[in-house]
């Protein structure tokens, strides 16, 4: 039911193109998953997502367990039917909330005690309860509960979090009940290479369906991030998907592909879209800049999305100036199409034996928009 097929590998780097087989379809890798935390990608419909070739979504089991509740989603036929999405779904466990909601939680060997951000009630999230929620939601891929640490983190703190992550992973594996749902393990260890290697070496024998690298893009910077990826990925099996969690800058994703990663997710493209920042083939473009006021050009001259085919930069700027929600929708749509095209171009370059050329070209693209706008 679940299988990773390695189709091609770039001989000069670790980049690889593959296929990940799931109950809701086969997805081509490398792959970017938009974040639908609350069972929706903000401002966009499932029809929008299908139009721009989104293959797989990420949802959040912690948030959906709180609202509307995993039991209700199961009663409504599972997450796919509930949100009207017939392609694969991956659910994050809530491990990132252990990090991001530090003021509202207490961590112990047993699990994590949260104060709900909705009503303040106390919730004890154990590995077993996490898996129960994900089993009820019914995504194609469920993630284990893990502990993500801040940057910088003392080695003793990072080591303790790694040990908890390994213990929780084993408990998640024991609690998992669905044969039609893959379970991925998560590698932690902060920015300590030896901890990352140890975590991977102890996690792989547990035989998960795939392996994720968590706890990055929390302030460590791109060079250190790539160093940690490099020392970790060599310990992972070649016949299973490799997932880099929560890393979303295009330049970081491309470097991750070069190291041999398959799956990516982040809120960045849609969050930036809602705030007037577009990713384009020319670099980042700020739609609120006054220079766009009478700009007749499309947002990105090489993009095939509805936004770029239909509207000028001037119109998009007008929408943001007027506070119209349509501006958020159009830019979010474009940004996600940019990411889908980036993944498709990387895959094509690997298959055609020209990934190094693709990588060098991507590295030359400026991060900021040209001075002329």
C-beta of residue 14 within 8 angstroms of C-beta of residue 233: yes
The DSSP string of 206-259 is G--SEEEE-S-SSSS-HHHHHHHHHHHHTTS-TTS-EEETT---HHHHHHHHHH
Run of H or E including 29? strand 25-29
Q: What is the pLDDT of residue 289?
A: 95
Return the active site residues: 92, 265
Q: What is the pLDDT of residue 370?
A: 56
Q: What is the pLDDT of residue 218?
A: 94
User: Considering only CA atoms, which of 86, 81, 32 is closest in space to residue 54?
Assistant: 32
Packing angle, helices 250-259 and 325-351, rounded to 10 = 20
User: Considering only CA atoms, which of 261, 284, 264 is closest in space to residue 17?
Assistant: 261
Q: What is the pLDDT of residue 37?
A: 96
Q: What is the pLDDT of residue 373?
A: 41
Long-range contacts of 99-104 (CB under 8 A, 24+ apart): 99/147, 99/148, 99/149, 99/150, 99/215, 99/218, 102/150
Structural domains in the chain, CATH included, are 3-266 (3.20.20.105), 273-362 (no CATH)
Assessment of whether the complete model's pTM goes beyond 0.95: yes
List the pLDDT tens digit at each of the 373 positions of the chain: 899 999 999 999 999 999 999 999 999 999 999 999 999 999 999 999 999 999 999 999 999 999 999 999 999 999 999 999 999 999 999 877 766 667 778 899 999 988 888 888 888 999 999 999 999 999 999 999 999 999 999 999 999 999 999 999 999 999 999 999 999 999 999 999 999 999 999 999 999 999 999 999 999 999 999 999 999 999 999 999 999 999 999 999 999 999 999 999 999 999 999 999 999 999 999 999 999 999 999 999 999 999 999 999 999 999 999 999 999 999 999 999 999 999 999 999 999 999 999 999 999 998 776 554 4
């Amino acid at each position: 039911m679940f299988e990773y097929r390695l189709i091609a590998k770039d001989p000069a780097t670790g980049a690889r193109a593959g296929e990940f087989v799931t109950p809701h379809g086969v997805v081509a890798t490398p792959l970017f998953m938009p974040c639908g935390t609350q069972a929706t990608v903000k401002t966009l419909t499932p029809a929008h997502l299908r139009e721009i070739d989104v293959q797989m979504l990420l949802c959040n089991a912690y948030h959906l367990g709180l609202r509307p509740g995993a039991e209700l989603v199961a009663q409504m036929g599972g997450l796919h039917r509930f949100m009207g999405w017939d392609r694969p779904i991956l659910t994050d466990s809530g491990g990132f909330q252990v990090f991001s909601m530090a003021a509202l939680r207490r961590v112990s060997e047993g699990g994590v005690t949260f104060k709900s951000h909705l009503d303040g009630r106390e919730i004890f999230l154990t590995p077993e309860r996490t898996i129960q929620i994900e089993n009820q939601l019914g995504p194609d891929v469920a993630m284990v509960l893990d502990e993500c640490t801040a940057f910088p983190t003392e080695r003793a703190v990072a080591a303790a979090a790694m040990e908890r992550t390994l213990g929780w992973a084993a408990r998640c594996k024991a609690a998992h009940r669905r044969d039609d749902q893959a379970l991925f393990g998560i590698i932690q260890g902060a920015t300590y290479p030896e901890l990352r290697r140890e975590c991977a070496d102890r996690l792989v024998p547990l035989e998960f369906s795939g392996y994720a690298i968590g706890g990055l893009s929390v302030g460590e910077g791109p060079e250190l991030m790539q160093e940690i990826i490099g020392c970790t990925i060599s310990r992972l099996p070649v016949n299973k998907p490799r997932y880099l969690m929560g890393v979303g800058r295009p330049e970081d994703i491309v470097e991750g592909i070069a190291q041999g990663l398959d799956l990516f997710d982040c809120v960045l493209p849609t969050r930036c879209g809602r705030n007037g920042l577009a990713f384009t083939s020319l670099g980042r473009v700020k739609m609120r800049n006054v220079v766009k006021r009478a700009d007749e050009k499309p947002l990105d001259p090489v993009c095939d999305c509805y936004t770029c085919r239909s509207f000028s930069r001037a119109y998009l700027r007008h929408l943001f100036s007027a506070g119209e929600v349509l501006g958020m929708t159009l830019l979010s749509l474009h940004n996600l199409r940019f990411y889908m095209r980036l993944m498709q171009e990387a895959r094509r370059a690997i298959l055609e034996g020209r990934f190094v050329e693709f990588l060098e070209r991507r590295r030359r693209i400026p991060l900021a928009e040209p001075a002329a706008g």
